Amino acid sequence: MKRRSLIKAVTLSAGLAAMGMSWTLQAAETIKVGILHSLSGTMAISETSLKDMALMTIDQINAKGGVNGKMLEPVVVDPASNWPLFAEKSRQLLTQDKVAVVFGCWTSVSRKSVLPVFEELNGLLFYPVQYEGEELSPNVFYTGAAPNQQAIPAVEYLMSEDGGAAKRYFLLGTDYVYPRTTNKILRAFLHSKGVADKDIEEVYTPFGHSDYQTIVANIKKFSAGGKTAVISTVNGDSNVPFYKELANQGLKATDVPVVAFSVGEEELRGIDTKPLVGHLAAWNYFESVDNPTNQRFVADWKAYAKAKNLPGADKAVTNDPMEATYVGINLWAQAAEKAQSTDVDKVREALAGQSFKAPSGYTLTMDKTNHHLHKPVMIGEIQDDGQFSVVWETEKPLRAQPWSPFIQGNDKRPDYAVKGN
Amino acid sequence: MSKAFYTLLLLLLLPLAAQASEGEFFITAKPTDQARLLQNWAAQPDPARLALLSALKQGRIGADDSRKVRLNNRLRGLIDNALASHQLLSEDVAVRLAAAQYLQKSAQPAQVAFLDRRLASEPDKGVKAALALALASLQLGASEPRVRLAAVRLLGETGDPQARTRLETLLEPGVESDSTVRTAAQTSLAQVERKLLIGELLGQAFSGLSLGSILLLAALGLAITFGLLGVINMAHGEMLMLGAYATYMVQVLMQRHLPGAIEFYPLVALPVAFATSGGVGMLLERTVIRHLYGRPLETLLATWGISLILIQAIRLLFGAQNVEVSNPGWLSGGLQVLPNLVLPYNRLVIIGFALAVVLLTWLLLNRTRLGLNVRAVTQNRNMAACCGVSTGRVDMLAFGLGSGIAGLGGVALSQVGNVGPDLGQSYIIDSFLVVVLGGVGQLAGSLWAAFGLGIANKLLEPQIGAVLGKILILALIILFIQKRPQGLFALKGRVID
Amino acid sequence: MNQPLLVTATRKAGPRLSLAIGTVVILVLLALPLLSLLPAGHSLQVSAYTLTLVGKILCYAIVALALDLVWGYAGLLSLGHGLFFALGGYAMGMYLMRQAAGEGLPAFMTFLSWTELPWYWVGTQHFAWALCLVVLAPGLLALVFGWFAFRSRIKGVYFSIMTQALTFAGMLLFFRNETGFGGNNGFTSFRTILGFDVASPGTRAVLFLLTVTLLLASLYLCWCLTRSKFGRLLTAVRDAENRLMFCGYDPRGFKLLVWVLSAVLCGLAGALYVPQVGIINPSEMSPTNSIEAAVWVALGGRGTLIGPLLGAGLVNGMKSWFTVAFPEFWLFFLGALFILVTLYLPKGVVGLLKKRSQS
């Protein structure tokens, strides 16, 4: 193995030297890939596990012989939940480390911060988190869900008999762009289904809000007016106090179900889930999905967490953004193999239509034009063991609509990637 | 209609069908059929079915059957409803009463006939009243005006938010034709609204008190380390965090070694958290802070460095994710005071706990030798040293005490919110504001400031939202400090540099 | 301590040496943007990464200088300078957003289905008015806050906590989407400034040069101020305000002037920072950032003017390096650094250098 790669390295570097490029031996042996996730600061809570998942996936790819015969070499940096630092670090990854691709970002603002850098330097970013849409850059591949791949099916489920046939909707979110846009789309969607404005309540809380007494009291009051469902886009840390307050004030899932778009297995690790049984979450993947690919994926992850002695390894769980990271890296590796190169333009071309058998049990395909994955939608109910049981899912993966038809003016947007959009 | 549904009808027509087979049938039916089945059971209860329904509530079809039934929220609601219906046939008065109260919220029109019959045969007065109320919500749609009138009057006596909605629907134009019923409905509506308003106001006051108690617990340790010792302790938040993590560790260890007493783990966690935070505090005082007395602004920088280190250390040890700290049984749920007012037990306990900690701290500072020494050292270090007080030791103990109290606060905070490495960061600014607003060095000041801020916050939140409310409060504090630079309770004196 | 440390340090170290080092640093800073214009692949070429990184640190250095003016000389530790910095940045950001949006509304407003600009956005399409805002927004806020605070003689810790509350309130306000500044996402995706592409090497070089110029100008201004009688008065305010009052001076005016000046400097730094890093968001107002600025000053040595510049450079340089080299441990280094500096270097790095040259 070692000898072969050495021979390859020598021939390659000779070839490169002949091309007049001054690459070092080191650079020829490996392909550098950047990992841009916050390891400190407020977002570390969500992003740390994505970094570990990315490292595991890279290990797996390397164990199979790497990409185009070269090993992948991860370059991990810590943008420390600081948005200007995200831009600085991505510039560093692209110009100093000369990485072939970057996997990273969680919040929309971090993506918005690095976007101009990736477009300027023609880099490649894989973004693994569900988001608000309204963006389509040629330099980004979105492996998380667009609103139509998460929010709208969830509301359709709540409207159905099985979902409780909700008549009133309490849209609760943290005040930033993802909840705002999602709720705007949902409101338009609810209008189209004949729900009047008086039956929709929209409330936002600041980041890190921890006192939900007033809001839960308001939900109670609102729910007296008819069968109510809460659609929660509450972010990260605020979920624990919110769910604790719900349970303690006696609002049960049978009375007022809460469907959350940002609560997954990882978040539930920090909550005692017994009082939450029956509340819902909408994602494109759950750890409990039963199929051979997922069983192997979960087992690999648990083994990796144990082997690397990650904190809380005995309770390691997988979740949707982790699956999206895993799928994204594998798709990129496949595309680089297909293109026989890691050149951004060639890989981008090869990615269109690339598909991968994902742990969700579906074969996910990268759309030919719009840089988003086709994803299935699943609604899961929280179980008392911190897992979800899938109560509803789409029949096949849905194509993403990054430009939601429920937002005015989007009908004029092109459905392919354009710079500066 | 599906084949299953015909089988279902057949089944209902067979009164002799064994209960076990009903369960078998349920587990194989489609969700829509299951729902219909449950609705039928709710309308025509059969005492023999009680065991099946109780098992279904647990997600099984029999006590000794290990198969799981896949339920959704709709089915769970219907099971609860059917179960309540069946429990009305129980011998136990308390069970009947609870069932009747449950049905007040969830009774379905199909159950009218059954409820009517039960009402007629119910011997107990309390249960009878509860049943009448449950029936009243359904009777608003009755054809006879007399029945509707009685129902409307009965609803007026409740303070139930749902009664308001029902009465409002009745009063919508074109719904109620009978004018007597309309007037009665208007009176009832006004009655209900008045009761609801009382509940709401009490709820607001309670949430203000609760928020105040949390602020108080968060700030109390700081009132000592900053208020008395003059250390701008930016690592105070991390002392809270350490207390919360100590709670988590106690919970984990007790789960492993003492699962029988797990209910009482928060009580065990109190001394552990006090010792952990206090110990770390004393260590910090001896190694870093003692070199910085008299240079308050520099303690700010050093303690901020300490806080960075503590956060990252916890992050490496326990992971960046939040850890699970669950409320034990006696801290879960709440006390139903009024139909629209539930006081969560954890919040009630925290209010009491906060007051107890304040009292203890006050006693410690004002009634013990240590307290005397602390006050002496903080008022005049040199004079105290001359009188033979070992100032170094007192400093260390006082700092340990402040940190330990912060640890106690951490135990309480772990019962309402997140336990994660960043826990302290979200409380540090509020804590400083409480201490400064109350007047540095004044325990009573901190008490009033915490409750004042809590209540003001909760009064503003429904009017202008959580964010603007908080901004307004901050602006008010800034203005207030202009007026009274020494805080609410200023020390009187003519000290000048 | 009563004399500006810079003066004594220069005197002690020998004016020639200091002058030589200073000149070299300035020349390097001036050469950087020119070198960045060299074609890629040239051995002397300075990458855009280095240029933006140094540019960012220079902006922070201006903040450190401004903070040193109020803390080191007038004894007012502000934990809210991030607010003034961000306000300047937002004012510039408004102009840049209008440039990017052309005739229409900025993208985040169309997102929220707003149909017209809020009143405070009026005129921001003009560069001149944006520049006025850069000065006016932080300046007026500082004036109002300072006027109230100094009138009721708030000082010391109280002043610090109040400024912290102020910047915290500002952060919450700007996080709200309804406030009309893009909420959490803030302003990004800038295109042009005065018609030039913000990402082009030429624009970058000019912005960098402007930052260096601003830094030198403010350093000179602060130096003159602190060496004048005004500077002596400020030091007197810091060391014994009451005695100064007994001497018949009214310290309020001096404090207010230096406070507003410091805020305006921060605003200008923020305005140069935004086009260089390409994003402004409310987290710039978070109290943590302002505390960090105080750490730069303390690390470099307060009351020295040069020290804070060193401090800002050191801390940020280390941050950029550590976050790559030891992503999981850099907070330990940073934390330990703060503790060690406060314990063993009460006068900062400059104090250490001075001691060295004396012995």
Taking only the tens place, the pLDDT of each residue in B141-154 is: 777 888 888 888 88
Amino acid at A311: P
pLDDT value at residue A11: 46
Higher pLDDT, A318 or B228: A318
Last residue of a domain, one of A260, A284, A310: A260
pLDDT at A380: 93
Query: For residue C324, which amino acid is it?
Result: V
Distant-in-sequence, close-in-space partners of A328: CB < 8 Å, separation ≥ 6: A103, A126, A128, A141, A143
CB–CB contact C158 B481 (8 Å): yes
Structure-model confidence comparison of residues B419 and B495, the more confident one: B419
Q: Among the ranges A212-216, B53-57, B72-76, C264-268, which has the highest mean pLDDT value?
A: C264-268
Contact B414, A244 (CB under 8 A): no
Question: Given a cut of 90, is residue B180 above it in pLDDT?
Answer: no
Tell me the β-bridge partners of B225: none
Note whether C92 and C134 are within 8 A (CB): yes
Q: Do A206 and C108 touch (CB under 8 A)?
A: no
Residue A168's H or E segment, with its range, is strand A168-174
B490 in the Ramachandran plot: left (φ > 0), alpha (ψ -120 to 50) or beta?
A: beta
Q: What does the mean pLDDT of chain B come to? A: 85
Token pair in block for residue C336: 């330990």
Domain shared by A213 and A111, yes or no: no
pLDDT at C9 over 90: no
Same structural domain, A342 and A239? no
Q: Band the pLDDT of C263: cuts 50, 70, 90.
A: very high
Query: C310: buried, middle or exposed (CB in 10 Å: 19+, 13-18, 0-12)?
Result: buried
Same domain, A19 and A128: yes
- pLDDT, residue A53, reads 96
Kindly tell me if the per-residue pLDDT of A212 is higher than 70: yes
On whether both A191 and A233 belong to a single domain, the answer is yes
Same domain, A90 and A28: yes
- Of the given ranges (B49-63, B363-377, C3-17, C121-135), which has the lowest mean pLDDT? C3-17
Residue C113 has pLDDT above 90, yes or no: no
Q: In which domain, by residue range, is A40 found?
A: 10-146+294-376
Query: Out of C158, C294, C334, whose CB is closest to B436?
Result: C158
Number of domains in chain A: 2
Q: Is C102 exposed, middle or buried (0-12, 13-18, 19+ CB in 10 A)?
A: exposed
pLDDT above 80 (res B490): no
pLDDT band at A29 (very low <50, low <70, confident <90, very high): confident
Of C328, C266, C248, whose CA–CA distance to C87 is shortest? C266
Concatenating the DSSP letter of every residue in B301-368 gives HHHHHHHHHHHHHHHHHH-SSPPP-PPPGGGSSEEEEETTEEEEHHHHHHHHHHHHHHHHHHHHHHHS
- Taking only the tens place, the pLDDT of each residue in A170-184 is 999 988 888 888 999
| CB-CB under 8 Å, A177 with C177 | yes
User: Using one digit for the tens of pLDDT, what is the confidence trace for C87-99?
Assistant: 999 999 999 999 9
* pLDDT tens profile B448-482: 999 999 999 999 988 888 888 888 998 888 888 87
Q: Which structure tokens are listed for A208? A: 């890190």
Chain C residues with CB under 8 Å of A77 CB are: 323-324, 327
Question: Which residue in A21, A52, A81, A109 has the most chain C C-beta atoms within 10 A of its own C-beta, making it the best mutation to test that interface?
Answer: A109
Give the A:B interface size as CB pairs under 8 Å.
162
pLDDT score recorded for residue A175: 84
- C44 neighbors C28 (Cβ within 8 angstroms): no
Helix axes B73-87, B93-106, angle to 10 degrees: 140
The CB-side HSE value for B445 (13 A sphere, CA atoms) comes to 24
N-terminal to C-terminal alpha carbon distance within chain C: 18
Interface contact C328-A39, CB threshold 8 A: yes
DSSP letter at A226?
S
More confident residue, B8 or B262: B262
CATH number of residue A230's parent domain: 3.40.50.2300
Q: Tell me what the mean pLDDT of segment C206-229 comes to.
A: 93
Q: What is the mean pLDDT of residues B29-56?
A: 85
CB contact under 8 A, A206 and C113: no
**Residue A181 and residue A308 share a domain:** no
Residue-level pLDDT at A176: 83
This prediction has a pTM of 0.86
CA atoms of B177 and B33, how far apart (whole Å): 37
Q: Among the listed ranges C83-92, C252-261, C279-288, C350-359, which one has the minimum average pLDDT value? A: C350-359
Q: Which of B225, B309, B479 to mutate to test the interface with C (most CBs of C within 10 A)?
A: B309
B300 interfacial to chain C (CB closer than 8 Å): yes
3-class secondary structure per residue, C214-268:
HHHHHHHHHHHHHHCHHHHHHHHHHHHHHHHHHCCCCHHHHHHHHHHHHHHHHHH
CA distance A347 to A140: 12
Residues of B in contact with A213 (CB under 8 A): 203, 207, 210-211, 347, 458
DSSP labels, A386-418: S-EEEEEE-SSPBPP-SS-TTSTTGGGS-SS--
- pLDDT band of A282, cuts 50, 70, 90: very high
Which amino acid, residue A246? L
Residue predicted with more confidence, C8 or A367: A367
| Whether B79 contacts B107, CB under 8 Å | no
Residue pLDDT, tens place only, B391-431: 889 999 999 999 999 999 999 999 888 888 888 888 898 89
pLDDT for B325: 86
Residue B280 is which amino acid? V
Percent of chain B with pLDDT over 70: 94
Minimum CA–CA partner of B314 in chain A = A311
The C-alpha angle with vertex A296 and arms to A292 and A298, in degrees rounded to 5, equals 115
> Tens of pLDDT along A74-120?
999 989 888 888 998 999 999 989 999 999 999 888 999 999 999 99
Note whether A23 and A82 are same-domain residues. yes
pLDDT-derived band at B497, boundaries 50, 70, 90: very low
Q: Which residue has the higher pLDDT, B110 or B358?
A: B358
Residue A305: the pLDDT is 93
Cα gap A245→C99, rounded to integer Å: 46
- Which residue shows structure tokens 């992503």? C327
Most confident of the ranges A217-221, B36-40, B177-181: A217-221
In chain C, domain spans: 47-358
Distance of CA B475 to the CA centre of its chain: 29
Residues of C in contact with A408 (CB under 8 A): 113
| Rounded distance between C-alpha atoms, residue A102 and residue A72, angstroms | 12
Whether residue B442 is predicted with pLDDT greater than 80 in this model: the reply is no
CB of A339 closer than 8 Å to CB of A31: no
**Given a cut of 70, is residue A9 above it in pLDDT?**
no
Q: Which of A260, A285, A315 is the last residue of a domain?
A: A260
Task: Kindly tell me if the per-residue pLDDT of B440 is higher than 80.
Answer: no
Q: What number is the average pLDDT over the span A38-65?
A: 90
B467 to chain A: which residues are within 8 Å by CB?
A: 175, 204-206
| Smallest CA–CA distance from B440 into chain C, residue | C158
Residue A28 within a domain: yes
Q: What is the mean pLDDT of residues C5-26?
A: 68
A170 sits in the region (left: phi over 0; alpha: psi -120 to 50; else beta) called beta
Burial C28-51 (b: 16+ CB within 10 A, else e): ebeebbebbeeeeeeeeebebbbb
Six token digits for residue B391: 């100032």
Whether residues A94 and A26 share a domain: the answer is yes
**pLDDT value at B240 more than 60:** yes
pLDDT score recorded for residue C103: 82
Across A300-304, B186-190, B191-195, C19-23, which has the greatest mean pLDDT?
A: A300-304
Distance in angstroms (rounded) separating the CA atoms of residues B160 and B148 = 18
Which positions 196-255 of B are in contact with C (Cβ < 8 Å)? 232, 234
Q: For residue B328, name the pLDDT band (cuts at 50, 70, 90).
A: confident
pLDDT at B187 over 80: yes
β-bridge pairing B334-338 and B341-344: antiparallel
Does the pLDDT of residue B3 top 60, yes or no?
A: no
Distance CA B299, CA B308 (A): 14
Mean pLDDT confidence for B378-403: 89
**In this structure, is residue A190 part of a structural domain?**
yes
Comparing A183-192, B14-23, B173-182, C296-305, which segment has the lowest mean pLDDT? B14-23
What pLDDT shows up at residue C2? 44
pLDDT score of A65 more than 60: yes
Element (H, E) at A125: strand A125-127
Domain co-membership, A76 together with A20: yes
| CB nearest to C158's CB, from B295, B299, B485 | B485
Using pLDDT thresholds of 50, 70 and 90, give the confidence band for residue B251.
Answer: very high
Percent of chain A with pLDDT over 90: 58
Give the gap in angstroms from C-alpha A233 to the nearest C-alpha of chain C: 15
Question: Are A162 and B72 in contact (CB < 8 Å)?
Answer: yes
What tokens does C307 get?
Answer: 């020290």
Determine the Cα–Cα distance for residues B157 and B151; give it in Å rounded to an integer.
10
Model confidence at C189, pLDDT cuts 50, 70, 90, reads: confident
Contact of C341 with chain B, judged by CB distance below 8 Å, is answered with yes
pLDDT digits (tens, 9 = 90+) for A310-344: 887 888 899 999 999 999 999 999 999 999 999 99
In a domain, A300, yes or no: yes
Cβ-contact C188, A115 below 8 angstroms: yes
β-strands A363-365, A378-382 pairing: unpaired
The neighbour count for residue C142, using CB atoms within 10 Å, is 29
- Percent of chain A, pLDDT > 70? 93
